[in-house]
A and B are shown apart, each in its own frame.
Chain A
């Protein structure tokens, strides 16, 4: 999308705040974040989250999990009840202005003035960040062109199609060249073709150095795009992991094996993760594609006879059943 060469880079001023710190730092650091809404509903129950600079990060969770609440607090739209948030090392309470300069937000719902023209929306947003009008126009042209909206620059925003509105929100979020782009369910209700091209676009700007956090309730989307993932449910982070590790975990069944005799030593069997629990019991993680076949034989060969075996509940399982349910009732899914 916006190349870091060209006019944007020629204005290092706007990166000033974001560039003070080391590149290895976290783009986002959340500690013990809580949110209780006015009606007493506790939407976030003390979450921790770390997103590395340069990462492509998914915050996955079913509807009502607390994704938008989290995003809202990070982007100063929602007041936190307690906890701390740092954006590129800038604490939201102490250096809110510097933190804000690092963030570009694509909200879940359309939120621009329906009567304003596309170009004005983007140019004004640049103005709010202190970018002079002449440069704001150049940046707006660049952003709108990259999102294939330049032809629509003089259209009034309410006349845009759903997909165009979504793209306009992305253009608006990028006009001040944020180091961290946050997208709240960017592809919900968007048809598959637009979804694909949006994925491609996001991948590109991530490669060019923008840290991206997106929320989604499609595992497929997170799987396709993201290197790290956190799963949120009922206001708790239930998983915070590299994407690859999560997938491995998801494609693994855990069994508890009951042995006839106490295990004399911790057994190892290639391909399986074994873990002695008590004298007579072993836990084993079995990759779905391997199955149980070789395992029992190999254990027997090591002198361990399995008398019974039961499936241990996978704590992620229920969550994913929820997610899948969610996707089934989402009308957007039908077009996907």
Chain B
């Protein structure tokens, strides 16, 4: 009961934070992704021709939604937790009788909520441009939830190690963005030469994007069970890693 209240306190604080600054947290993704839909889907997409047997626009909508979920979940936790550390109000949590896993769950919950908020807005925008509709809502919900959790955890770990505001933008800019763009959001890896197709299979984001796309349009470059195994496995690793960091107090306690 205690722990539930503590969890809700952190979660609501996190939600309150990104809602309060929505022009910085929700609006940018809504605008960028609308532009993607407009440029890649409507203007260029018409010339690209069909991708995997469907209109290019229809093909990219699921990936673009998931891309916004990934960047926002990550961005929410890394920014919020780092600023909590930076302003030292992390001490409010460290002195309280909250188990570490509740602290982690609260921040991850905040990242998932942000992913849901932004992903939802992007999905609604996407529905204006296409006739794509959720074919397997359960699958979509699971992939969304797990992917948002995974990147929230990654953002958390980034924030724990970060010592400056530069440190919280390096990973998103130089690791996350390339992986997302090369993760099959805008193309099917079937189009790639053999070597690059193999290389792409090492990118975990490819599996999430394809599983998510499968939930909408029923096609995927990868096996869906493999996708779930990879996402689930990654989550387990990052949860363990985060809890070790919290127990050691890395970056938080002197």
Q: Does A103 contact B (CB under 8 A)?
A: yes
Tell me whether A38 and B3 are in contact in the complex, defined as CB-CB below 8 angstroms, given that A75-B95, A76-B95 are known contacts: no
Stretch at the interface among A20-28, A111-119, A142-150: A111-119
Q: Return the chain B residue nearest A113 by Cβ.
A: B89
Residues of chain B lying within 8 A (CB to CB) of residue A97: 97, 99
Size of interface on B: residues with Cβ below 8 Å to A? 27
How far does the alpha carbon of A298 sit from the alpha carbon of B98 in the complex, in Å?
67
Q: Return the chain A residue nearest B16 by Cβ.
A: A120
Q: Which of B1, B87, B91 contacts A77 (CB 8 A)?
A: B91
Q: Does A128 contact B (CB under 8 A)?
A: yes
B87 and A111 within 8 A (CB): yes
B96 and A77 within 8 A (CB): no
Q: Which of B13, B88, B96 contacts A109 (CB 8 A)?
A: B88
Tell me whether A124 and B92 are in contact in the complex, defined as CB-CB below 8 angstroms, given that A113-B84, A132-B5 are known contacts: yes
Q: Does B8 contact A (CB under 8 A)?
A: yes
Q: Does B253 contact A (CB under 8 A)?
A: yes
Residues of chain B lying within 8 A (CB to CB) of residue A132: 5
B254 and A38 within 8 A (CB): yes
B3 and A128 within 8 A (CB): no
Q: Which of B1, B8, B10, B254 contacts A72 (CB 8 A)?
A: B254
Tell me whether A129 and B97 are in contact in the complex, defined as CB-CB below 8 angstroms, given that A107-B91, A109-B88, A111-B88 are known contacts: yes
Which residues of chain A from 43 to 76 have a CB within 8 Å of any chain B CB?
A: 72, 75-76
A131 and B5 within 8 A (CB): yes
Distance in Å: Cβ of B145 to nearest Cβ of chain A: 24
Residues of chain B lying within 8 A (CB to CB) of residue A96: 97
Q: Return the chain A residue nearest B96 by Cβ.
A: A128
Distance in Å: Cβ of B104 to nearest Cβ of chain A: 14
Q: Which of B1, B83, B98, B254 contacts A128 (CB 8 A)?
A: B98
Q: Which residues of A contact B (CB under 8 A)?
A: 37-38, 72, 75-79, 96-98, 100-101, 103, 105, 107, 109, 111-114, 116, 120, 124-125, 127-133, 172
Query: Could you list 20 examples of A-B contacts with CB < 8 Å?
Result: A76-B94, A76-B95, A79-B249, A96-B97, A97-B97, A98-B97, A100-B96, A101-B97, A120-B13, A124-B9, A125-B92, A125-B96, A127-B5, A127-B6, A127-B10, A129-B6, A130-B2, A130-B5, A132-B5, A133-B5
Q: Which residues of B contact A (CB under 8 A)?
A: 1-3, 5-6, 8-10, 13, 16, 83-84, 87-89, 91-99, 249, 253-254
